[in-house]
Structure 1
Amino acid sequence: MMEAHTEEEQTEDYLFKIVLIGDSAVGKSNLLARFARNEFYPNSKSTIGVEFQTQKIDIDGKEIKAQIWDTAGQERFRAVTSAYYRGAVGALLVYDVSRRQTFDSIGRWLNELHTHSDMNVVTILIGNKTDLKDAREVSTDEGKTVAEAQGLFFMETSALDSSNVTTAFHTIVKEIYNILSKKVISSQECKKDDSKSLGSGKSIVLQEEAGEPVGQPKTAGCCSS
């Protein structure tokens, strides 16, 4: 039996899929727990398979539903990659500032991201566990340098003390929305030049150069008044 929904319950305008990637034990699950539930698990176990949380974020009067996916960083769970990345419009690539080996894995994770998803996925490089000041092995400048070289946003966070966690997730959602907004404007301008398509009431499918949608309105008829 289908459940009835009122208009008030269907207020979100967009759904963005965002993936968390990076080596095991860099704090991906705790970043998500801190953002979604303001919780932290000091003895959390490795994620098995795939989990996701949804959070609603308001940007410019639009309600964005961010569906954030978290998966195990261990090699033995890598078979989930294709389905995991499919449809993703954003990625948080996380390393542990106290373990250089996780920082050295950045290139491999970027290759995997680009292999399984659109090359234009909005990506933030996250240096997590800044609370471990005495154990730091990767400097902030090193993180910035790699991010600039790869064309990534960069931020350092601590899931333990909450610093920059909400900012990181809000930043990536805002950037995805900005790209989407520009494409909506561009698509609408193209429709003005094509009288045959005016008034069709069809959803705009926003395509990147690689052929994958950047984000799609949840409701049809986005060109209608």
Structure 2
Amino acid sequence: MQAPKKKVLLKIIILGDTGVGKTSLMNRFVNQKFTATYKATIGADFLTKEVTVNGQRVTMQIWDTAGQERFQSLGVAFYRGADACVLVYDVNQPKSFDDLESWSQELIVQACPQSHETFPFVCLGNKVDKAGPNRAVPKKKAKTWCDSKSMPHFETSAKEATNVDEAFRKVAEIALLQEQQNDDPVYLPETIEMGGDNAEGGCPC
């Protein structure tokens, strides 16, 4: 009788400017909920969700941080051990797209991944439900940038649940693949307690 596969823990970081919908995307994926009331994230926050990727049980620990510059001092403790990064911009705010380059560099500098070139990123253009015919960030422009970095790109709406599940499952897929290639995945014991669904504060070091 074949032993069941152990669960793998993947630490996912969400980065992007304030107000692009990082927290809303996380809550939509994990809790299937959306609130129109905006509340800026202070410090760091994480939620967990278990998914199955190619037959492997995976626990995604998804970390959300405030986008304001004054909170970027979270530094190494926040980024350490990240297995993948979700870059989020608002399709209606061109600056939020332009800032993705600096956010990706911030991750590389702080997390110091084994390989800068192959670290898994996924890019989400959020709030497509609000995009009109003269949208600020054309899909073609965003996709061209993502393609140049071999980065999957999704256009999402946390409000309408558009492509949210698909995007986060892609994150899990490429993060798991990277872990397997590095040959050192972090396994969870079957009795682990992940804490509350909405734990706050510093990350485990």
Whether contact under 8 Å (1:88, 1:121) holds in the other structure is no
Does residue 169 in structure 1 map to residue 163 in structure 2?
no
Whether contact under 8 Å (2:84, 2:175) holds in the other structure is yes
Does residue 144 in structure 1 map to residue 114 in structure 2?
no
In 2, Cα distance between equivalents of 1:140 and 1:84 = 31
Question: 1:190 matched to which residue of 2?
Answer: none
Question: 1:36 matched to which residue of 2?
Answer: 30
Task: Give ranges in structure 1 of 5+ residues lacking alignment.
Answer: 1-9, 185-205, 207-214, 220-225
**Deviation of the 1:12 alpha carbon:** 5.2
Bigger Cα displacement from structure 2, 152-161 vs 56-65: 56-65
TM-score (norm 2): 0.83
**Deviation of the 1:82 alpha carbon:** 1.4
In 2, Cα distance between equivalents of 1:78 and 1:54 = 22
Question: 1:211 matched to which residue of 2?
Answer: none
TM-score (norm 1): 0.76
Moved over 4 A (4+): none
**Structure 1 vs Structure 2 CA RMSD:** 1.7
Does residue 218 in structure 1 map to residue 188 in structure 2?
yes
Q: Which has the higher contact order (CA 8 A, sep 6+)?
A: 2
Does residue 128 in structure 1 map to residue 126 in structure 2?
yes
- SS of 1:178's equivalent in the other structure is helix
Question: 2:104 matched to which residue of 1?
Answer: 110
- SS of 1:63's equivalent in the other structure is strand
In 2, Cα distance between equivalents of 1:151 and 1:59 = 21
Number of aligned positions between the proteins: 181
**Deviation of the 1:29 alpha carbon:** 0.3
Does residue 46 in structure 1 map to residue 67 in structure 2?
no
In 2, Cα distance between equivalents of 1:42 and 1:12 = 38
The one-character-per-residue Cα deviations of 1:17-47 (angstroms, maximum 9, x if unpaired) are 0000000000000000100111111112100
In 2, Cα distance between equivalents of 1:58 and 1:103 = 31
**Deviation of the 1:124 alpha carbon:** 0.4
Whether contact under 8 Å (1:12, 1:63) holds in the other structure is yes
How is 1:51-90 mapped onto 2 (pairs within 5 angstroms)?
A: 51-90=45-84
- SS of 2:148's equivalent in the other structure is helix
In 2, Cα distance between equivalents of 1:125 and 1:91 = 9
Q: For residue 54 of structure 2, what is the amino acid of its counterpart?
A: D
In 1, Cα distance between equivalents of 2:137 and 2:54 = 36
In 2, Cα distance between equivalents of 1:66 and 1:43 = 25
Whether contact under 8 Å (1:12, 1:65) holds in the other structure is no
**Deviation of the 1:180 alpha carbon:** 3.0
**Deviation of the 1:166 alpha carbon:** 0.5
